[in-house]
Structure 1
Amino acid sequence: MKRFNFTITAAALAVCTLCMGAAQAQDKPVALKLSSWVPAQHALNPALQAWADDIKKQSNGTITSTLFPSEQLGKAFDHYDMARDGIADFSYVNPGYQPGRFPIFAASSLPFMISNAKAGSAAIDAWYRQYAAREMKDVKFCFAFAHDPGALHSKKKIVSPAEIKGMKIRPATSTIGQMVTLLGGTNVQSSAPEARDMLERGVAEAITFPWGSLTLFGIDKVTKFHMDVPLYVTPFVWAMNADKYNAMSTAQKKVIDDHCTSEWAEKVGSAWADFEIGGRTKLANEAGHEVYKLTPEQLKAWRDAVAPVEGQWAEGVKKAGGDPKQVLDSLKASLVKYKSAL
């Protein structure tokens, strides 16, 4: 029987190894659709674009992204389902737009909790990671973040919580909606892009909103009085379609994972926070607007009046099978750790 000599030289082996390595490293190109429902000029969009650009760099160009702002891919209310269903590969989600659907996450929108959105974004993200896989199981949770504390803006000056009774108010989240109801007001639901129209037509008389975005969405044209109190933050989620993630290579998944962190939550939250902080100063200097503070007694009256909202929130968590005390204690500990508790 004829015998063959399969001796491979060291040089040939090296070339073969390099070829195999190159084949393994050659990931298939992935194009991502990123959906942001805020206007193109909003401060959030450059932060999301910077995030996407870094992913492209770290993936050696194999993961590219196109950002679609201004509700181009769907309405603001629909963004969680858009990520779930693959209409967008990444979606900017306000979970508070859907009352009762995400009761644990709603803890971070309780009034008078968070002092700033920079470290506060990292605090919310680090806290929520222990619950995300359960509460948002039909998407890949990337990170959570918040805008800088928002305030109450209205057509008439309001200093007492008793003055909310009988008013029609557009709340930022379902939790703030509970606060409005508790104080005797009526909730008028609308997304941020629809809010100015609601106020202009008299469907709503007041709104809870962050400062810089107030001008961007044109709401400063229909509100004149602005309570300078860090009433609440609206927490958001940057969510990914799970099938899109699962179809990626191991190396590409790692790049995504490295960009779905509390550090990135803080980067994105910080860029937006600076914009909102600047908006307060700008509005205070505009003719026809009154930005006013509350006395310590008035502030205490607000805190006392809205305290029962926590109990209402806790009932929602219990119905979902959660432990509200554990959830809230964990959030407060994270806010203290990240120096963002109010």
Structure 2
Amino acid sequence: MTSSFRLGLGAIAAAAAAAAGMATQAAAETTLKLSHFLPTVHGIHTDFIKPWTEQVTACTDGEVQFEIFAAGSQLGNVARQQEQVMAGVVDIAHGLHGIPRGRFPRTSVIDMPFLTDDAGAATHALWTMLPDELAEEYDGLKVLALHAHNGGLIHTSEKKVETMEDLDGLRIRTPSPAVSEMLTFLGATPQGLPPGQVYESLQRGVIDGTVFPWDPVASFGLNEVLKYHLDAGAYTVSFFFVMNENSYNSLSETAQACVDKYSGDALVSNFGDWWDAWDAPGRQGAIDAGHEITELSDEERERWRETLAPMIDGYLEELKADGVDNAQEIYARMQELVAEYAASN
């Protein structure tokens, strides 16, 4: 072997090593932008999103890193989560299906009154239905999880609510079209507001109350501006955790496997227990503040069901007119899956 040939082989080997080093360095510098609309003290951030990013990073041996944009950041607007991830402004987003209105009409059927008051049951229904009944709403996205919260309450600042008549004329913040319809049928005036604007709106008297589960009451400090809480369990609201499909496809096979490992079935199974834990501080804070917490009576609950039956039928008919031909079937399937979950737990 001539010296020049050996030098040539050495140069090739050195170049290959350098290329491998650059490839490893490039892989290590893959940073994904993840946005959500909640404060960093919320359980969705502390127990779900931040640990999820850490698990994926560890699984990839550092190949994938994350930059998280929460509420108050330039990418933390609740109304822009879906459009940001679709456009690739962020790689991953967690948002509310009902804000802005009308982007996830099939998925948002889960928000129907009295369909379920259990986060685990609602999440089970959504995830089970994703591949068939709901998939078309997520074109261009890799769905990492769908989930929903526990049954929401009606919280008010000055007037105690126990009946439909008590709601008459009250301006109540609403999170979704279905809940807006519910409030209207019950006599209230729904006000569409992002969660982060509720505190100031209550403080200034712009609204009289809000519908929320217990957890945002704690994370947004709302016990400071509320006095009364009606535990109606009348509705739930659903969320998406999605990734831009191109962003996912651009990852290495190893990184994709790590994203898959900590998403889907492995992730959605946690939300029932998580929401129970997230709700506890809000309720305890209301108790500590001396607030009045009222349970909706069985008699009043039946009145609400009867009043809202035409609303549910009308809402599903509107969805059908807007192109969701199988709206009634989606609703029936959700009822079936919620019952299935209840029977198994």
Q: TM-score under structure 2 normalisation? A: 0.85
Measure the CA separation in 2 of the matches of 1:60 and 1:322: 46
Cα distance 1:132–1:28, how it changes in 2: closer, same or farther (>3 A)?
farther
Which residue matches 2:61? 60
Tell me, yes or no, if the aligned pair for 1:91 and 1:240 is still in contact at 8 Å.
yes
Measure the CA separation in 1 of the matches of 2:343 and 2:52: 23
Which residue matches 2:154? 152
Q: Secondary structure at the match of 2:175?
A: coil
Tell me, yes or no, if the aligned pair for 1:133 and 1:141 is still in contact at 8 Å.
no
Count residues in correspondence: 320
- 1:1-342 counterparts in 2 under 5 A? 28-29=27-28, 30-46=30-46, 47-72=48-73, 73-154=75-156, 155-268=158-271, 270-287=273-290, 289-318=291-320, 319-339=322-342
Q: Secondary structure at the match of 2:269?
A: helix
Which residue matches 2:9? none
Tell me, yes or no, if the aligned pair for 1:229 and 1:293 is still in contact at 8 Å.
yes
Q: Secondary structure at the match of 2:146?
A: strand
Tell me, yes or no, if the aligned pair for 2:38 and 2:76 is still in contact at 8 Å.
no
Amino acid aligned to 2:66: S
- Return the offset for 1:166: 1.9
Cα deviation code 1:83-134 (max 9, x no counterpart): 1112221111101122222111111111212232235423322223424431
Cα deviation code 1:14-38 (max 9, x no counterpart): xxxxx9xx99x96934211111211
Q: Secondary structure at the match of 1:115?
A: coil
Which residues of structure 1 form unaligned runs of 5+? 1-18
Measure the CA separation in 2 of the matches of 1:191 and 1:139: 24
- Return the offset for 1:269: 5.1
Cα deviation code 1:143-184 (max 9, x no counterpart): 111222210011211111233232211112221011112233
Which residues of structure 2 form unaligned runs of 5+? 1-16
Measure the CA separation in 2 of the matches of 1:298 and 1:132: 33
Amino acid aligned to 2:309: A
Tell me, yes or no, if the aligned pair for 1:113 and 1:341 is still in contact at 8 Å.
no
Tell me, yes or no, if the aligned pair for 2:146 and 2:241 is still in contact at 8 Å.
yes
Cα distance 1:150–1:338, how it changes in 2: closer, same or farther (>3 A)?
same
Measure the CA separation in 1 of the matches of 2:165 and 2:238: 27
Which residue matches 1:8? none
Cα deviation code 1:275-296 (max 9, x no counterpart): 2134223323422x10011321
Amino acid aligned to 1:182: F
CA RMSD of aligned residues (A): 2.5
Cα distance 1:340–1:208, how it changes in 2: closer, same or farther (>3 A)?
farther
Larger relative CO (CA 8 A, sep 6+): 1 or 2? Answer: 1
- Return the offset for 1:237: 0.4
Cα distance 1:229–1:180, how it changes in 2: closer, same or farther (>3 A)?
closer
Identity of aligned residues (%): 24
Cα distance 1:176–1:321, how it changes in 2: closer, same or farther (>3 A)?
closer
Measure the CA separation in 2 of the matches of 1:126 and 1:263: 13
Measure the CA separation in 1 of the matches of 2:343 and 2:195: 25
